[in-house]
Structure 1
Amino acid sequence: MKKSNFLCLIGVLIGTNTVCFAESLFDVNRTNLTGDWGGERTALADKGIKFDGSSNLDIAYLADGGYAPRQDPTYVSQFSLGSILDLEKLLNVDGVSVRALVMARQGQSVSVEQISDPQAPQLANVQANYGRGNSGTRLAELSIEKNFRNAATSIRVGRFAMGTYFNVMSCDFQNNSFCGAQMGKWQGSKWINAPVSQWALMSKYSFNPEAFIQFGVFEYNPKNLEESEGWNFSTNDADGVNIPVEFVWQPKKGINELPGIYRLGGFYNTAHDVKNQKDIVTGEPQDHTYGMWGVAEQQLTQKDSTHQGLYAFMNFSFHDQTTNKVENMQQMGLKYVGLLNHHPNDIVGFAVNRVDVSDRYSQIHQVLNKEAEYNIELNYSYFPMKWLMLRPNIQYVINPGATNYVDNALVLGLSSKIIF
């Protein structure tokens, strides 16, 4: 290894990285903060070793309304570091790769501490990176995938989260009702998103390059949710499994001959211990629960044959009213990518979400005197560099927690992301 490359790698590890920063930090084509490590990063990728990392920060200030407004802003951070090993390149093992990802979250949420009435917590969260944190690191994924190319089939096994591969949607907003796998927001006691991982197996079959079906079997172990259990490999507290099934269509030429992605799926949970699965009204033990979802993301217009243009998205879900507080959810929004030609990656986003509380549940909780909570966000994602994003945003929460005993909340936010 050349001396400069060696110094570059050492710099990455200890955080100085002055050799790598000799490359122009402000090169518009630079895709990550740490650069190419003097060419070593590309050389490793060619050999089958890829690294990825990012740091996210969500800041929120409750400007008006809510339960306790005009306190200090709060912040939530997330750090992730991962790798992909292509064993076909490294060891000549056909179609096999290994994914590893470690995540850490810290901070406190305006939704939890200032917007929510303790008797009626806000259903969404104005800081998407909140939750499952404040406990050091978590193993978010350690999995091995085998692609059977001739059979158009793949199998993945290991530890990973349901929302990493099922009910996936983009994340261009700070409010979590517009970010990531929505099933984990509205049925989160059973559907578990990253950074929490579970023992799992999933398989995917491709009908053609634009359509596939996938299913999985995930250990359901509520012990994994505890903040001190980020590296829990034990199955001692497991209680049944989650079984998701999803059909995905991703046309290259959909509406207006432009690309899109559409998802339709459902999951079934077999937990039967009364402490994990019970009727939310009577408290009687249950032996299953379920949920269903649909996702659509579609580019509607295109500027000069690029990714710039108008995009629309929507998401809906339905949930078992016997065991779940939320009955259904609807979400829709618009994004315009590259409104200004000299900032082709910037995004203007606007979205509205409605979360409907089950009538069965609200009838015995009189504080929940509104049938739904609404979340609205307007933002601008500014990319001064490809590796740096700043997202000022305005959010408005109507009936936080599905009650009018708490004033509607006006939130000012700022998200940032750095790609390493």
Structure 2
Amino acid sequence: MKKFSLALLPTVMLVAMTQTHAENAFDPKGQYLLGDWDGKRTELAAQGVKFDANIAADAAYLADGGRDDGNSPTVASQLWLGSNFDMEKLAGWDGVTIRAALSARQGQSTTADDLQDKNAPQLANVQANFGRGNQKTRLSELSIEKNFKEQGVSVKVGRLGLGMDFNVMACDFQSTAFCAAQMGKWQGLIWMNTPVAQWGGRVKYQVTPEVFTQVGVYEYNPENALERHGWNLDTDNADGVTIPVEVVWQPKSFVNGLPGSYRVGGIYNTADDAKNQYDIAYAKGAVAEDRTYGGWLAVEQQLTSTGAGRQGLHSFANFTWHDRTTTKVDNSQQIGVKYIGLFDSQPNDILGLGINRVHVNDRVTNPAFNASAEYNVELNYSYYPTKWLMLRPNIQYVINPGATNNVDDALVLGLSSKVVF
């Protein structure tokens, strides 16, 4: 029962808020669980200091299939503590913002414990809050950004995750197959998403009000992904850099006069050591290539509008391509739909359906990968009783987990939750 403590926290919050009429904490009409701190939070925001704190938890139960079904559910959770300092308000530094964030993960993984074959790990994970950074704390961001407003240019440097700015996607699902920057899922050896951070910088140029382009240069250091190096800021084991480039079109009125987001980009990595370049295609004695690369196309488009703001039907898609010489996954496809505000009484709730295919490079010689591709499907409902509480029951179905026939297709029952403090 102990491991369910964080998963049950949102339920406790839901009960508590129905029994209190506090002006601040637990206010069902408030923005944060802990309220406005007797007005201090609003006062600090006006002065240029904002805080971002939340706990997210993913519970998963392997109901059928996989390697060993019927075991107890597992819970993976993440605590996020962040702050944003508007230095223009605080110190008169025109267009300068400083951000800092730390994260802490804990828990178990149904994918690792029960679902996947030991020789062919599931390519996705049924719990997005399990993965790099698990069981340890990390410095997930420490950055400074300067916005040159008249020139339409912004420059950001510091400790960053690549998915903070590139290949950005919404995260309204529990499976990693539909959550955040997909490049970090399928080419994760060189692309490290949050909570992992690395030294790097990004320059962004606003070409028109609806179009911008950006380029980044990030240290590639395999030590950044290790559990014990979440706070290590040295570059002793750095091996080249990862360079992402992206063009983004964000029309305010496109399909049916509704907004969308269209991203196309690519990455180039310069690691010199073969073991850093190669995914499982690497074999002892392999000779390093002079590059590793990949690319993506990411789309989010509102299709219908049935009320104010985002209410209506939304579509999304994400396609990735990867270097077949060095990478285990050579391509992936993700498509889905979300209906926001299905009920007028719940304008922020989301009904979501996503389908994902991940193809294993046919140059990989491991005989365990005998199904060529893994497929992930998730149907969920994100319930927002307040702005600071989310509950997301979901059903997932994984076909050929790990792109192998060695284990059965898996039916997973899940429950995601998030409390914003």
TMscore range, shorter length: over 0.9
Pairing of 1:74-93 with structure 2 (within 5 A): 74-93=74-93
Output the amino acid matched with 2:370. N
Aligned residue-pair number: 399
Distance 1:309 1:392 in 2: 20
Q: Does 1:345 align with 2:348?
A: yes
Indicate if the aligned counterparts of 1:77 and 1:107 stay in contact, CA closer than 8 A: yes
What residue in structure 1 maps to residue 337 of structure 2?
334
TM-score by length of 1: 0.93
Q: Does 1:50 align with 2:50?
A: yes
What residue in structure 2 maps to residue 385 of structure 1?
386
Change (3 A) 1:95 1:114: same
Secondary structure, counterpart of 2:40 in structure 1: helix
Indicate if the aligned counterparts of 1:252 and 1:259 stay in contact, CA closer than 8 A: yes
Change (3 A) 1:199 1:402: same
Secondary structure, counterpart of 2:230 in structure 1: coil
Instruction: Give % identity.
Output: 59
What residue in structure 2 maps to residue 319 of structure 1?
322
What residue in structure 2 maps to residue 396 of structure 1?
397
Equivalent in 267, 287, 293 of residue 290 of structure 2 = 287
Please report how far the alpha carbon of residue 306 of structure 1 lies from its aligned counterpart in structure 2 after TM superposition.
3.2
Change (3 A) 1:225 1:294: same
Indicate if the aligned counterparts of 2:107 and 2:135 stay in contact, CA closer than 8 A: no
Deviations 1:16-59 (A, max 9, x none): xxxx9831556453111111111110110100111111100000
Pairing of 1:136-175 with structure 2 (within 5 A): 136-175=136-175
Indicate if the aligned counterparts of 1:205 and 1:213 stay in contact, CA closer than 8 A: yes
Q: Which runs of 4+ in 1 moved over 4 A?
A: 24-28
Indicate if the aligned counterparts of 1:278 and 1:284 stay in contact, CA closer than 8 A: no
Output the amino acid matched with 1:43. E
What residue in structure 2 maps to residue 297 of structure 1?
300
Please report how far the alpha carbon of residue 136 of structure 1 lies from its aligned counterpart in structure 2 after TM superposition.
2.8
Deviations 1:324-376 (A, max 9, x none): 00010000000000000001111000010000000111xx2222111110000
Output the amino acid matched with 2:220. Y
Q: Does 1:406 align with 2:407?
A: yes
Distance 1:400 1:355 in 2: 10
Distance 1:23 1:209 in 2: 40
Distance 1:416 1:49 in 2: 27
Q: Does 1:306 align with 2:309?
A: yes
Distance 1:371 1:132 in 2: 25
Q: Does 1:66 align with 2:66?
A: yes
What residue in structure 2 maps to residue 417 of structure 1?
418
Please report how far the alpha carbon of residue 179 of structure 1 lies from its aligned counterpart in structure 2 after TM superposition.
0.4
Distance 1:273 1:73 in 2: 40
Distance 1:92 1:281 in 2: 52
Indicate if the aligned counterparts of 1:256 and 1:301 stay in contact, CA closer than 8 A: yes
Output the amino acid matched with 1:48. G
Please report how far the alpha carbon of residue 304 of structure 1 lies from its aligned counterpart in structure 2 after TM superposition.
3.0
Indicate if the aligned counterparts of 1:99 and 1:144 stay in contact, CA closer than 8 A: yes
Pairing of 1:7-406 with structure 2 (within 5 A): 22-23=22-23, 25=25, 27-278=27-278, 280=281, 283-361=286-364, 364-406=365-407
Change (3 A) 1:154 1:21: farther
Distance 2:274 2:315 in 1: 41
Please report how far the alpha carbon of residue 134 of structure 1 lies from its aligned counterpart in structure 2 after TM superposition.
3.6
Indicate if the aligned counterparts of 2:36 and 2:42 stay in contact, CA closer than 8 A: yes
